Amino acid sequence: MDGQPEIVDKVLGYLMQGWEIAQGWLLSPAAWSQFALLVVAFFSAWVVTRRVSPVLKNILTPPEEQTHLFAGLRLFVLSFLPLLLPLLAYLLTAVGEEVTRSLFGSGAVIAFGKRLLLFLAARALVNKIVKDPFLRLLGKYVLVPIMALYALGLLPLATTYLSETIIRLGNISFSLMSLVRGIIAGSVLFWLGRWSNDQSASYIQRQKELPPATRQLAVKAAEIVIFGVAFLLLLNIMGINLSTIAVLGGAIGVGLGFGLQKIAANFISGVILLLEGQATVGDYVALDGGEAGTIVKMTARAAILETFDGRWIMVPNEDFITTRVTNYSDSGSANRYEADFSVSYDTDINTIPAIVEAAVATHKDVLDKPYPPDCELRGFGDSGIDFSVEFWVNGLDDGPNKYTSDVLFLIWNALKDNGIEIPYPHRVVEIKGGLPTA
C-alpha cells in the first residue's frame, strides 16, 4: 500500500482502527453486556412511550374553542412528543452506563449507543417537529450530519481538520472552521431576525390607535434594529474586529455616497413620507408623471401602486417629495363628482333641481355631508338646456365603483317618470333654389 495519496492512507488508517474496535467489541463479554443493556433500555423506553403518549396527548391537547396563549403553549409542548422515545431511551442508557462502568470498568459500547440515540432524536426533530422550511433545510444538511459525525466519534477529527485548514485571500486568512461557523450562525441569526421582524410587524400593525404612517415607520425602524443587531452578533461570532469594520465601512460609505445617491435619496424620502403621513398604504394617489393607483406597499426605496386594471407600478419615494401628488383618499375624506345632462327647451326648468336632487339622494353611497346633492343650471345648449348635478361619496369613481353611471341612471328614470324629455340634436337643412327636377 506504499505510494498511496495521504488522504487514502488516512482513510485506510481509520478503517483499520474501526475494525480493531469492532473486533474488540465482538470478542468482549463486557461489550455484549453493554449491548444487552442498550436493547433493554430501548425496549423499556418503547413500552413506556406507548403507554404514556396517549395520556400526554389527552392532557396537552386543548379544546378547539380555546385560542389563548396557554392553549398555544400546550400545543407547542405537544409537538415535541416524538422526542419522548429517543430521549427516554437515552436517560435509561445513561443509568445503564454507570452500572457497566462500575462492574466492568468500560462503557465504550453503551457510550456509542447514547450518541446514536441523540442522532435519532435529531432526525426526529428535523423530520417530525420542525415545520419551517428553512429550519428543516438547515437541520437536514447541518444538524443531522453533525450528529452523525458525533455518533461515529468523528466530530473531534472533523473540527480539528477544519480548524487547521487555512484559506488565504490576499492579506486575509481564515480557517474553514470559522467559515462554517459563520454560515451556520448567520443562517440561524438571520432566520431569528426574520421571525422577530414578522412578529414585531404583526404586533405594531395591530395597534390601531396609532396612525397608519406611524405604524409603518415603527415597522421599518424595528426591522433596521433587528437586522443590525443580528449583523453585529454575526461579526462577533466570526471573530471579526469591529474597529476594522468601522474603518472599512467609512471608506465604503464614502464610495456609496457618490455612487448610490438616488438610493439614499429614495430611502430618506421614504422616511420623510412615513413621518409626515401625507401618503400612506391604502391611499389613492395621482402623480404629475401620470402614475395613479392605490398604495399597497411602501418599501425603503419605492411605493407600490396598484391600478384598477390590476397593474402594479413602482414609484420611487423621491417622486412623492419632488413632484406634485394628488391624494384622493387622504384620511378617508369624501370626493365630489359631477354628472351632466340636458332637458328639452319645452321643460319648466324650475322643477328640475328638486326632481334630480331627490333622485340622486336615494343612492346608498351618496352623502349628505359635507354637502347633499346639488343640481345646477350650466347653460343653454344648441339642442337643450344643460344641467349638472354635484354629489359627494366616500370612494373613487373607478374600478369597482360606478357612481356617475348609477347617478345618470337615476336621473334618466326620474326625468322619464315626470314626463320630461331628454333632447337629442336636431338640424334644419335649407336647400336654396328648390329641389332638382328628375
In SS3 terms, 385-401 reads as EEEEEEEEECCCCCCCC
* 436 within domain boundaries: no
283: Cα separation from own chain's centroid:
22
Q: Is the peptide bond before 370 cis (omega within 30 degrees of 0)?
A: yes
Q: CA torsion angle for 345, 350, 351, 356 (degrees, to 10)?
A: 90
Domain boundary among 237, 263, 289: 263
User: 326 and 350: one domain?
Assistant: no
Domain boundary among 164, 184, 208: 164
Q: How large is the average pLDDT for residues 302-315? A: 83
Q: How large is the average pLDDT for residues 296-323? A: 81
15 pLDDT higher than 70 = no
* 138 within domain boundaries: yes
Q: What is the average pLDDT score of the chain?
A: 77
pTM across the whole model: 0.48
User: 212 and 305: one domain?
Assistant: no
Q: Please state the domain count of the chain.
A: 4
User: 323 and 366: one domain?
Assistant: no
Residues of the domain holding 305: 279-330
User: 17 and 153: one domain?
Assistant: yes
Q: What tens digit of pLDDT does each residue of 289-308 get? A: 777 888 888 777 788 888 87
Q: What tens digit of pLDDT does each residue of 237-262 get? A: 666 665 655 655 665 666 656 656 77
* 229 within domain boundaries: yes
* 424 within domain boundaries: no
The DSSP output letter for 81 is G
User: 290 and 410: one domain?
Assistant: no
Assigned C-alpha cell, 382? 344648441
Give yes or no for a contact between 366 and 373, defined as CB atoms under 8 angstroms apart: yes
* 131 within domain boundaries: yes
88 pLDDT higher than 80 = yes
Q: How large is the average pLDDT for residues 310-320? A: 83
Q: Residue 14's closest CA among 112, 157, 114? A: 157
User: 33 and 152: one domain?
Assistant: yes
Domain boundary among 108, 140, 164: 164
pLDDT value at residue 331: 47
User: 153 and 232: one domain?
Assistant: no
Which residues touch 94 (CB under 8 Å, ≥6 apart)?
Answer: 114
Whole-angstrom distance, CA of residue 144 vs CA of residue 241: 32
User: 117 and 212: one domain?
Assistant: no
User: 23 and 90: one domain?
Assistant: yes
User: 116 and 252: one domain?
Assistant: no
- CATH number at 371 reads 3.30.70.100
Whole-angstrom distance, CA of residue 331 vs CA of residue 190: 36
* 170 within domain boundaries: no
* 186 within domain boundaries: yes
* 15 within domain boundaries: yes
User: 191 and 324: one domain?
Assistant: no
- CATH number at 304 reads 2.30.30.60
User: 38 and 131: one domain?
Assistant: yes
Q: What sign does the CA torsion over 106, 112, 117, 119 have?
A: positive
